[in-house]
Structure 1
Amino acid sequence: MTPFVSEFIGTAVLLTLGDGVVANVVLAKTKGFSGGLTAITFGWSIAVFAGVLIAAKDSGAHLNPAVTLALAALHKLPWDQVPVYLAAQLLGAMAGALLVWLSYKQHFDETPDATTQLAVFCTAPSIRNATHNFITETIGTFIFMLAVLYIIPPSDSLGSLDALPVALIVLGIGLSLGGPTGYAINPARDLGPRIMHAILPIKNKRDSDWAYSWIPVIAPIIGALLAAYVYWLLH
């Protein structure tokens, strides 16, 4: 596969399973209803495992614009490849969100609360404060990116054997830091599905909370670049 196709498929799988576990936990009349944050964090970690496993060979399995930009800043990816990766990740995230909507269409219809519907697609803070929400997302992505940089082998890209440790890092971040903001730690993961929420014909739909949307996009990029800088200083 080309890097574009690899990143597209890997990110689509990531979002199908990741947003899928959220849908299973929060939407009405599902088998997993009220499964809680622990079920969501484990589901997202498996989603990361599957996405990395699929995309590792052909693109290095970034699946995350923050990762792509941090690796480019460290000269581990040519800058002319960055737009290809970013486009594939955003489109893959949108495709994954579409598949979740198709799978859970009846349950969206049975869920009267529009904010709960939105939660399937994108993150939102438990306590809304832009400064603190931004800091939380930055810290989470900083830890994620720094750990990933120590996992990446000399080839400068993730391999299939790296899927499990990366998934475990995401699991740890979700369990430890997921409470305040829902741990986006990935601009495409949040923005792509948010766009789909705005587009799709969802019964009783609310607005897509664009006032908050910049935080899970900008903060992960800042966190990843800070991690790259710290890694560069240490090495």
Structure 2
Amino acid sequence: MSAAEIMIWEIMGTATLTLLGCGVVANVTLRRTLGHDGGWLLVNFGWGFAVFAGASVASPTGAHINPAVTFGLAVNGQLDWGQVPIYLLAQLIGGTLGAVLCWAAYKLQFDTHDDPGNTLGIFATAPTVPNKPWNLVTEVIGTFVLVLWIILTPGLESGAAGITDFGNSALGYAGVAFIVISIGNSLGGPTGYAINPARDLGPRIAYALLPIRGKGGADWGYSWVPILGPILGGVLAGGLASILPAT
């Protein structure tokens, strides 16, 4: 697969992810929506199935849609390191694009929301108890679970041109939705479980640039945590998987 083809599919898949993922948070957060106050469980299910949709769209590339997955597969020897920058750039572009589309879908609700200064959480994550070293640990653990599950689940195999196919056996990409929902329910409370740098950084950039009335800051001082934590988690998962006995 060419670099251009990887770019196209990863952009589309990651844009689908953040459009639907940010969309469910907007539906729950903004006042004049049918999903207002839908709660944490609705958000978790929304993000889980956003991952399913995004991965399904990006299936021709191996459905990474997450730099942590890309790094984990490269460390595990399932992806050529020369392709890593292509994936990362596409994921960042897609993550930003999907967030912009989410804003466009909910523009009237953003315009009439009575607390616009607290809308960053629709786009990006934040800790409930700010402590960057421990917030980092939380993101590492959550992402480690995700990437190790992806790598170890039956169905992972190297395809043509160094593209990895993780079909997750009979479940297909729906299996990814279940593990993301599980991580959200069990480990998402402290930081909002970014577990994906592109899912956080792309929408955070979009939030900083979008003309949202009365919006607050993008909290760039925290932004490195949901970037570094998931990457470390992905690398650790890929490294561990590479030394485990073959099954």
TM bucket by the smaller chain?
over 0.9
| In 2: Cα distance, 1:38 partner to 1:96 partner | 22
| In 1: Cα distance, 2:203 partner to 2:122 partner | 9
| In 2: Cα distance, 1:108 partner to 1:185 partner | 26
| In 1: Cα distance, 2:173 partner to 2:157 partner | 16
Match of 2:103 in 1: 101
SS at 1:154's partner residue?
strand
Deviations 1:31-71 (A, max 9, x none): 00000100000001110111111111x10000001111111
Match of 1:27 in 2: 30
Match of 2:161 in 1: none
1:40 is aligned, of 36, 40, 43, to 43
CA RMSD of aligned residues (A): 1.4
Tell whether the 8 Å contact from 1:26 to 1:116 is kept in structure 2 after alignment.
no
Deviations 1:57-109 (A, max 9, x none): x1000000111111111221111111111111000001100000001111112
Q: CA deviation at 1:113?
A: 2.3
* Overall identity of the aligned pairs, in %: 50
2:13 is aligned, of 1, 10, 13, to 10
Tell whether the 8 Å contact from 2:118 to 2:215 is kept in structure 1 after alignment.
no
Tell whether the 8 Å contact from 1:10 to 1:52 is kept in structure 2 after alignment.
yes
Match of 2:240 in 1: 230
Match of 2:58 in 1: 55
Match of 1:220 in 2: 230
Scaled by the length of structure 2, the TM-score of the pair is: 0.91
Match of 2:82 in 1: 80
2:185 is aligned, of 175, 183, 195, to 175
Tell whether the 8 Å contact from 1:111 to 1:117 is kept in structure 2 after alignment.
no
Q: CA deviation at 1:115?
A: 4.6
| In 2: Cα distance, 1:127 partner to 1:110 partner | 29
Structure 1 consecutive aligned stretches of length 4 or more whose deviation exceeds 3 Å: none
The alignment covers a number of residue pairs equal to 234
SS at 2:141's partner residue?
helix
| In 2: Cα distance, 1:133 partner to 1:153 partner | 30
- 163-172 vs 106-115, which deviates more? 106-115
1:201 is aligned, of 211, 222, 234, to 211
Tell whether the 8 Å contact from 1:112 to 1:204 is kept in structure 2 after alignment.
no
| In 2: Cα distance, 1:182 partner to 1:89 partner | 20
Tell whether the 8 Å contact from 1:65 to 1:188 is kept in structure 2 after alignment.
yes
Match of 1:140 in 2: 142
Q: Considering fraction of residues, name the structure with more helix.
A: 1
| In 2: Cα distance, 1:124 partner to 1:109 partner | 23
Q: CA deviation at 1:153?
A: 2.1
| In 1: Cα distance, 2:34 partner to 2:178 partner | 25
Tell whether the 8 Å contact from 1:187 to 1:217 is kept in structure 2 after alignment.
yes
Tell whether the 8 Å contact from 1:53 to 1:159 is kept in structure 2 after alignment.
no
2:113 is aligned, of 111, 114, 122, to 111
Tell whether the 8 Å contact from 1:138 to 1:220 is kept in structure 2 after alignment.
yes
Contiguous gaps of at least 5 residues in structure 2:
159-163
- 111-120 vs 40-49, which deviates more? 111-120
